[in-house]
Amino acid sequence: MVLPRSEMEFLQPESWAEALAVRAAYPEALPVAGGTDVMVELNFARRRPPALLDLGRVAGLADWGTEDGLLRLGAGVPYRRIVTELAGRAPGLAMAARTIGSAQIRNRGTVGGNLGSASPAGDALPPLLAAGALVELASVRGVRRVPVAGFCTGPKRSMLAPDELIAAVLLPPDAGPEQFAKVGTRNAMVIAVCSFALALRPVSRTVGTGIGSAAPTPVRAAAAEELLVAELPWADRAALPEPLVRRFGELVAAAASPIDDVRGTAAYRRHALGVLAGRAVRRAWAEHRRGGVRG
Amino acid sequence: MTGQILPGARSDGSAWSVGAVGGAVAPGCGSSGGVRCVGGGVGGIGASPVRPDGALKVRGEFAFSSDLWADDMLWGATLRSPHPSATIRGIDVGAALAVPGVYAVLTADDVPGDRHYGLEVADQPVLAVDEVCYRGEPVAIVAADHPETARRAAERIVVDYGVREPVTDPEVALAGGRLVRHVPIRKGDPAAVAEVVVTGEYRVGMQDQAFLGPESGLAVPAPDGGVELYVATQWLHADQRQVAAALGLPVELVRLSLAGVGGAFGAREDLSMQVHASLLALRTGRPVKMVYGREESFVGHVHRHPAILRYEHGATRDGELVYVRARILLDGGAYTSTTPAVVANAASLGVGPYRVPNVTVDAYGVHTNNPPCGAMRGFGAVQACFGYESQMDRLAEAVGLDPVEVRVRNALAEGGSMPTGQVVEGPAPVARLLELVRDRPAPPPVGDDPRQLPGGVANTTAPEQVVRGVGYAIGIKNVCFSEGFDDHATARVRLELIGGEPTALVHTAAAEVGQGLVTVQAQIARTELGVERVVVATADTSVGSAGSSSASRQTYMTGGAVRAACRAVRAALLARLAGGSGAGADDGGVADDGGAVGDGGVVGDGGTVGDGGGRVAGGGLELAGGVIRDAAGRTLGTLVDLLAAGPVERSVRWRHRPTRPLDPVTGQGDAHVQYAFAAHRATVDVDPELGLVRVVEIATAQDVGRAINPQAVLGQIQGGTAQGLGLALMEELQVVDGVIRNPSFTDYLIPTILDVPPMAVDVLELADPHAPYGLRGVGEPPTISATPAIVAAIRAATGLPLARVPVRPEHLTGTG
């Protein structure tokens, strides 16, 4: 018997059209952007794809701008640039990007890669959920935009079709006060034990949430969102009632379905989410009261 | 910030300190810090010359053992047991051998010599023999022309396992007779009573050394039927002995050279891939390289023993200790490794650096089906210190004393006696070290830079959500090998003219594991021989054993041997001078092992204190700058002239003063060579709601006897403290049912630069009269007390009892 050799094909398109054509022709090729997830899996021999589809040279994939009134963030924009260039337009995502890995990882890692990995611990996903972002998926068949809320279908599973690539994420332009916080057991370079993102949109009087590392996929806390929509003193920007904060924390904790694992217990995750949620809404509301409405 | 002299440490002012700044700068020769370079000259002892590996490592150009290469080499891979306990009913290697590119597949049946090895007891199979006793135990090895091919072929080996129920609870193991060693310590009245009694049970999780350079090396078959092995290890000759026994070869046919070591911390004291690569090389006739992956590395070396410690302290109402009773249970895992010595350390150091009239300690090491445990920095003293220092805080609380005060009241001092009855000779500045860290200025209050808050930049915690706490601890560690072990080190020193310039070649088998030993050897040669040019040869087995780079012993032992060899060279030069021209004198040239010093119990120059810098023994002569002068300062000759007749070479096997075994019933005996002490004050900020901790500052005070290389001393103190911080807050191999659940750096967390705080360091240099230059081993003490100091600070901040390390957020929030 002859085992397959350890070599693998390395496909390196230089344009988006070429990338989509290659993706269609080699659906078994594993797309790789910054490589901060994929290369670890290869090094640990957890994956041996027959080919890698490197998106690092695709022109335009690392651009961002405004499109259809939305903020369009190319899938290849590295976290470092999100931190330095988008803290005003996408504050929650920028806060999350700042917590990711080390400086080297933030130089390489991308939101597109985070979505592609579809890990429940993907740090960029809760703020995208909270912001109500769309994911733009492209193939030679065409382009579709799907809510990020439905994109992840299970741990490391997504609705990405075998011939599709993640092109961009699209964020609403009316970012209001946003918060993101994550708990890890050291102060840097740590996978989230749990994380929480909150977006207040005073213009539309809506609220978004995102919970990370506490369910099979990143999830929203819908009941907690409804509570704030209904009970935040939007009109007069009055001080936040403590019982509302407490109830919000409880509903966020209840929305999670965490497990015990090496990073933490389910009980801790639930507890910590309640604490993070309370802190997030206090901070966000304080920002709103200071007049932090962006249009 | 530069060093500053602390008043009153020693008459010559040899004490110094470094402030709590990020990039602490060690004082050294020529700095404005005021530290004297005694007898140093350029790059001699007391200086901090640039280490030869420093720039290479910073630039990523240093060649580690995993970088070794031979053009025609094969790659080895290891098949490991997936079960913590199982019989092996059969192994079918046929499918693996059939893989193209595979050159050999070997099992226990292919081991030509001893099928078991071990540092103290040869009970660990080279390859599993009829059974496996831990998950990850090597079962078979493969050589192939590509590492991936070797790994895939290994997966095709079919092993028929009869899975057994593993024993993973050390209490069950002890009750079931799986004892490795019991060390009792009995001193004074076993039935002593006291006015105040505090008790506690404490647990220490399994810490890993977490070196960054995985187990790796290259074995090259030699024309004479032997093997040349290039490997990252801590003790070349212990490897040589075990490899030769397994290969069934005389030791002279197994020749080892030290390859670049990427960290050790005890994890390279036991064999890993050494025999396997050699077996494959001899079988295939090709060089064989083996490099463990990260996950494999976590089962490829021993770990720190997890411990269960029960303590009862009795004291007067004034906080004076009356008795200590302790039971310490250490999980040794599947094989013996160094468990017996770890048990002895935990027992003999089990009450800490305190005067205790009545002591009853029982320390046990047991076999389980957990991963094997053995040497790790602190070696039994770490676990005990978490127990006794937690107890000292409970005692302080019970008698209403400040935690430093209760320790000072009971502090061991010079001339005091240990629970083993051993009298502590030489300085034992326990009280002073505690006072030094206590009297340090407090760090600034919490600020709003997120990097300095619990949770770091993850945005969890605001300054108003933080509670601050301060904690103290002090530890004690034995230096060098104990209990009558014949501990020696050999150095060969050759002085000759190269290009007309006197040059010293220092050759030892001592393993540079990153601690800076190569630099220290050169410094000693410069000081002793008064030359600037020193070449330190690669450590290998063509020179006598240096013993292990462990037990904080290598500067003491190999440093002592290099000093002795240099002095033998000097004596020969002097004889040449007395002989006139120096030509034809029979002393000259190369002498082999003629200068054994300290052998057979003779202390030799082990009893000499001071620097001896350049003084030629007995002659009142001085050798400095290549010139020999008499007491009146007259030039008698130059090195260049004396060496014109040829090189002078001396080899010395050097011993520390002998130790004795512990009495097996009472635990009495002068078992240790030297004691070393370090104290810590930890300041922490805790977010109690989330259970997150940030260590704000750690102040350390340590007596190093004599800082041969002040910068390296600081490096050891900072690194050791960080490793203790890791054990306090995050470092644990989580083993469930014999399986390590987090064998990666994704989930085995070690402190990052954002977790390690500024460190304020006070260094005392109180000479030990028995040690070379008065030095005291430095590497381990700072690891020992950092952990309990940090936990004490968290207790102070939260009021929680916290009886287990690492402390997890669950423990602080009641969600465990």
What value of ipTM does the predicted structure carry?
A: 0.95
Within a domain: residue B174? Answer: no
Contact at 8 Å (CB) between B141 and B266?
no
How much is the average pLDDT of B704-714? 97
Nearest Cα to Cα of residue B566 among B440, B654, B660:
B654
Interface residue of A187, A198, A245, A271 to substitute, partner B, most B CBs within 10 Å = A187
Within a domain: residue B16? Answer: no
Nearest Cα to Cα of residue B304 among B792, B780, B751:
B780
Coil vs helix vs strand at B50: coil
Q: What is the pLDDT of residue B205?
A: 98
Task: Indicate if B312 and B448 belong to the same structural domain.
Answer: yes
B725-773 pLDDT tens trace? 999 999 999 999 999 999 999 999 999 999 999 999 999 999 999 999 9
Name the CA dihedral angle for B537, B542, B547, B552, rounded to a multiple of 10 degrees: 10
Within a domain: residue B7? Answer: no
For the cut 80, the answer to whether the pLDDT of residue A196 exceeds it is: yes
Nearest CA in chain A to B732: A262
Give contacts of B 291-320 with A, CB under 8 A.
293-295
Going through chain A in order, the beta strands assigned E by DSSP cover 9-11, 30-32, 51-54, 64-67, 70-74, 134-139, 142-147, 152-154, 157-158, 165-171, 178-183, 194-201, 206-212
Within a domain: residue B193? Answer: no
Distances in Å between the Cα of B425 and the Cα atoms of B354, B415, B599, B670, B675 are: 15, 6, 22, 11, 9
Domain encompassing residue B253? 68-166+214-300
Nearest Cα to Cα of residue B394 among B332, B465, B449, B312:
B312
Within a domain: residue B179? Answer: no
Task: Indicate if B473 and B522 belong to the same structural domain.
Answer: no
Q: How confident is the model at residue B586 (pLDDT cuts 50, 70, 90)?
A: very low
Q: Check residues B648 and B637 and name the one with the higher pLDDT.
A: B648
Task: Indicate if B533 and B495 belong to the same structural domain.
Answer: yes
Nearest Cα to Cα of residue A127 among A221, A232, A212, A225:
A212
Q: What is the pLDDT of residue B608?
A: 37
Nearest Cα to Cα of residue B44 among B521, B515, B638:
B521
- Which among B754, B808, B809 is the nearest to A188, CB-wise? B754
Task: Tell if the CB–CB gap between B98 and A1 is shorter than 8 Å.
Answer: yes
Tokens of B472: 């103290």
Domain endpoint, select from B636, B655, B674? B655
Q: What is the pLDDT of residue B626?
A: 86
Tokens of B660: 């004795």
Tokens of B530: 């008064």
How much is the average pLDDT of B625-633? 86
A113-157 pLDDT tens trace? 999 999 999 999 999 999 999 999 999 999 999 999 999 999 999
Helices B274-284, B236-247: axis angle to 10 degrees equals 50
Task: Indicate if B330 and B405 belong to the same structural domain.
Answer: yes
Q: What is the pLDDT of residue B697?
A: 98
Q: Which residues pair with B740 in a beta bridge?
A: B735
What is the C-alpha separation between B263 and B513, in angstroms, rounded?
6
- Residues of chain B with Cβ-Cβ distance to A3 below 8 Å are 99-100, 149, 152-153
- In 3-state terms, chain B is what percent helix, strand and coil (to 5)? 25, 25, 45
Domain with residue B51: its CATH number is 3.30.365.10
How much is the average pLDDT of B334-363? 98
For residue A224, the tally of other CB atoms under 10 A from its CB is 24
Q: How confident is the model at residue B580 (pLDDT cuts 50, 70, 90)?
A: low
Burial class (CB in 10 A: 0-12, 13-18, 19+), B620: exposed
Task: Indicate if B400 and B476 belong to the same structural domain.
Answer: yes
Helix (H) or strand (E) holding B760: strand B759-764
Length of chain B: 816
Within a domain: residue B753? Answer: yes
Query: How do beta strands A64-67 and A70-74 pair?
Result: antiparallel
B662-677 pLDDT tens trace? 999 999 999 999 999 9
Task: Tell if the CB–CB gap between A187 and B451 is shorter than 8 Å.
Answer: yes
For the cut 70, the answer to whether the pLDDT of residue B38 exceeds it is: no
Q: What is the pLDDT of residue B41?
A: 56
Tokens of B489: 């080190």
What is the C-alpha separation between B463 and B209, in angstroms, rounded?
34
Nearest CA in chain B to A3: B99
Domain endpoint, select from B619, B637, B655? B655
Within a domain: residue B178? Answer: no
What's chain B's average pLDDT? 91
Distance from CA of A40 to the nearest CA of B (A): 10
Task: Indicate if B615 and B670 belong to the same structural domain.
Answer: no
Task: Indicate if B797 and B769 belong to the same structural domain.
Answer: yes
Q: What is the pLDDT of residue B117?
A: 98
Task: Indicate if B498 and B584 belong to the same structural domain.
Answer: yes
Nearest Cα to Cα of residue B303 among B261, B273, B332:
B332
Distance from CA of B387 to the nearest CA of A (A): 24
Buried b / exposed e across A115-152, counting CB within 10 Å, b at 16+?
bbbbbbbbbbbbbbbbbbbbbbbbbeeeeebeebbebb
Q: How confident is the model at residue B619 (pLDDT cuts 50, 70, 90)?
A: low
A30-64 pLDDT tens trace? 999 999 999 999 988 889 899 999 999 999 999 99
Task: Tell if the CB–CB gap between A275 and B690 is shorter than 8 Å.
Answer: yes
Task: Tell if the CB–CB gap between B730 and A179 is shorter than 8 Å.
Answer: no
How much is the average pLDDT of A281-287? 97
A124-133 pLDDT tens trace? 999 999 999 9
Task: Tell if the CB–CB gap between A268 and B293 is shorter than 8 Å.
Answer: no
- Residues of chain A with Cβ-Cβ distance to B99 below 8 Å are 1, 3
Domains in chain B: how many in total?
3
- Which among B295, B749, B813 is the nearest to A185, CB-wise? B749
Q: What is the pLDDT of residue A45?
A: 83
Give the type of residue at B111: V
Distance from CA of B450 to the nearest CA of A (A): 10
Flag whether residue B744 sits within 8 Å of chain A, measured between CB atoms: yes
Task: Tell if the CB–CB gap between B151 and A2 is shorter than 8 Å.
Answer: no
B464-491 pLDDT tens trace? 999 999 999 999 999 999 999 999 999 9
- Residues of chain B with Cβ-Cβ distance to A275 below 8 Å are 689-690
Coil vs helix vs strand at B708: coil
What is the C-alpha separation between B781 and B786, in angstroms, rounded?
9
Going through B480-554 in order, the beta strands assigned E by DSSP cover 488-498, 501-508, 533-536
Interface residue of B66, B690, B747, B790 to substitute, partner A, most A CBs within 10 Å = B690
What is the C-alpha separation between B240 and B249, in angstroms, rounded?
10
Give the type of residue at A80: R
How much is the average pLDDT of B422-447? 96
Nearest CA in chain B to A182: B458
Q: Which residues pair with B497 in a beta bridge?
A: B502
Residues on chain A bordering chain B, Cβ-to-Cβ distance under 8 angstroms: 1-3, 6, 40, 43-45, 95, 98-99, 102, 179-191, 193, 195, 262-265, 267-268, 270-272, 275-276, 279
Nearest Cα to Cα of residue B548 among B510, B498, B515, B597:
B510
Q: What is the pLDDT of residue B14?
A: 61
For residue A247, the tally of other CB atoms under 10 A from its CB is 17
Size of interface A-B (CB pairs under 8 A): 115
Domain with residue B139: its CATH number is 3.90.1170.50
Within a domain: residue B199? Answer: no
Backbone φ, ψ for residue B470 (5° rounding): -125, 140
Residue ranges and CATH numbers for the domains of chain A are 9-54 (3.30.43.10), 64-171 (3.30.465.10), 178-289 (3.30.390.50)
Q: Check residues B81 and B27 and name the one with the higher pLDDT.
A: B81
Task: Tell if the CB–CB gap between B747 and A262 is shorter than 8 Å.
Answer: yes
